[in-house]
């Protein structure tokens, strides 16, 4: 059963500017160590981080919190399944909210083209888990 949906767009050049901060404040405030390691270095690193940032914002929308109500960026983690598809692991207040909403599974799609990265997330309850 579909419970909620969230979608977000991120400007990749804006992410690049934030990542250029020599303190690493944006990177460490918004991405878990696992997320940072999974994108490592590469030509599409900024686009991939932008996509993961869009996922976080889309999840916040699906949870109904936006930027607040105790849900932080590190509470939402994008991980790659063995199939290569992204999924979401929640921590802290985000996990608590998802439990209250009876969310048991997420469908995640990301894409990037030109200067934009986007993410769409669908929160599912037990009745809607794909088999």
The count of residues in the chain is 131
Q: Mean pLDDT across the stretch 107-118?
A: 95
Strand residues in 1-131 grouped as ranges (E): 2-11, 76-80, 86-90, 105-113, 116-124
**Spatial distance between the Cα atoms of 52 and 50, rounded to a whole number of angstroms:** 5
CB atoms within 10 A of CB 83: 7
pLDDT tens digits along 6-22: 999 999 999 999 999 88
pLDDT tens digits along 45-59: 999 999 999 999 999
- Highest CATH level, class, for 2-128: alpha beta
pLDDT-above-70 percentage for the chain: 96
């Amino acid at each position: 059963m579909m419970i909620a949906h969230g979608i977000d767009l991120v400007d990749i050049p804006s992410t690049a500017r934030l990542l250029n901060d020599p303190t690493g404040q944006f990177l460490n405030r918004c991405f878990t160590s696992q997320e940072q390691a999974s994108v490592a270095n590469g030509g599409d690193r900024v686009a991939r981080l932008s996509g993961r940032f869009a996922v976080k914002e889309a999840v916040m929308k699906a949870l109904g919190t936006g930027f607040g109500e105790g849900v932080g960026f590190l509470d939402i983690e994008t991980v790659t399944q063995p199939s290569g598809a992204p999924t979401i692991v929640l921590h802290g207040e985000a996990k608590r909210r998802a439990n209250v909403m009876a969310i048991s599974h997420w469908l995640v799609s990301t894409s990037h083209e030109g200067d934009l990265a986007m993410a769409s997330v669908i929160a599912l309850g037990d009745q809607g888990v794909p088999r």
